Structure formats: structure tokens, C-alpha cells
Amino acid sequence: MKKIVALLAVVCIALSAAAQIQDPVDWSYSVKKLSADTYTFSATANIEGDWHIYSQTTGKGGPVPTKINFKKNPLITVVGATKEAGKVKQVYDELFKTNVRYIGETATYTQTIKVRAGVKTNISGSVEYMVCDDRQCLPPSKKTFDLKLQ
């Protein structure tokens, strides 16, 4: 009986380890004050190995493009479009049957933010993205952020 219980315990541990969620993208967030009412928000993705995320400009019919979403805050104005920096590659993807744009290693997204003068508040929101390598894609993910503007 002890052998059966021990065997079941080993099998459960092995299945648990194999079922752990893979997350090959590590996000970091920062804000930089440019003037009394202007900040730059940055979200940086550090991407492991051969994994990649998709550009904001990946077209329809393909994978989920990366998107930065800001929570509505009456004290904040998002100025212009979010800028994307990294080694962008464009290829025809057999899986999606369309041209895709993706970034590996490191991707940085920056956004200019205006704040009502003299107020303290936070910038919060989320990053939505999809990560793939040459063999598989993981389901789309969403990571949240909340940073003080001081």
C-alpha cells in the first residue's frame, strides 16, 4: 500500500510540474518626468530564447498584436500613439497564412502622458500580447501595471 501511495505522489508531482504555466516574457514598467506636466511611460518586454511577441502593427487575420491599454483617468491625457522599439522582423507565417511582424529579445513601448499641473496620480492599465516560437504559440496574455506619477 505504501508503494502505491508513493507512486501516486510521484506521478502527481510530475504532472504538476509539467502543467506549470509557461511565461517566457518578463515585463517591466517605468515613468520618467520630462516637465511639470509631461511624463514618458515605458513598458519593456524581455523575451526568452527563440520566443517572440507580435508588433502593434501586425495586421488582421494573424496573431494578437501587442497593445498597451491605459485605464481612464480624468487627470491624465495620453498624447499620440504608443511607440514601439525593437528588432522588428516581417515574415510570412504558415500557421496564420499571412504576413506578420514580430519582435524577439527586447521590445520597448513608450507613451507620452500629460497630467493636470500640480496633481499627484497614478497611470495604470494593461499590456495584451501573444507569444510564440517556431513550434508553438501560447494563449494571449494580459499583464497589468500601476505606477505613481510624481
Model pLDDT for residues 97-146, shown as the tens digit of each residue? 889 999 999 999 999 999 988 888 999 999 999 999 988 999 999 999 99
Whether residue 89 is contained in a domain is answered as yes
CATH number, domain with residue 130: 2.60.40.1250
% of the chain with per-residue pLDDT over 70: 86
Name the pTM for this structure.
Answer: 0.83
- The domain tally of the chain equals 1
Whether residue 99 is contained in a domain is answered as yes
For residue 74, what are the CA distances in angstroms to 14, 108, 119, 130?
Answer: 50, 26, 11, 30
Whether residue 120 is contained in a domain is answered as yes
Sequence-separated (6 or more) residues with CB below 8 Å from residue 24 = 47, 48, 49, 51, 131, 133, 138
Sign of the dihedral defined by the CA atoms of residues 113, 40, 26, 58, in that order: positive
Q: Which residues form the domain of 97?
A: 24-149
Residue 94 has pLDDT above 80, yes or no: yes
Residue carrying the nine cell digits 494563449: 139
- Residue with the bigger pLDDT between 62 and 78: it is 78
Whether residue 11 is contained in a domain is answered as no
Instruction: Give the strands of the sheet with 67-70, arranged side by side.
Output: 67-70, 121-129, 141-149
% of the chain with per-residue pLDDT over 90: 69
**Helix (H/G/I), strand (E/B), else coil: 18:** helix
Whether residue 139 is contained in a domain is answered as yes
First-residue to last-residue Cα distance in the chain: 63
Whether residue 18 is contained in a domain is answered as no
Whether residue 19 is contained in a domain is answered as no
Residue 34 has pLDDT above 80, yes or no: yes
Residue 13 has pLDDT above 60, yes or no: no
Residue 20 has pLDDT above 80, yes or no: no
Whether residue 59 is contained in a domain is answered as yes
Q: Tell me what pLDDT residue 47 has.
A: 97
Q: Tell me what pLDDT residue 15 has.
A: 37
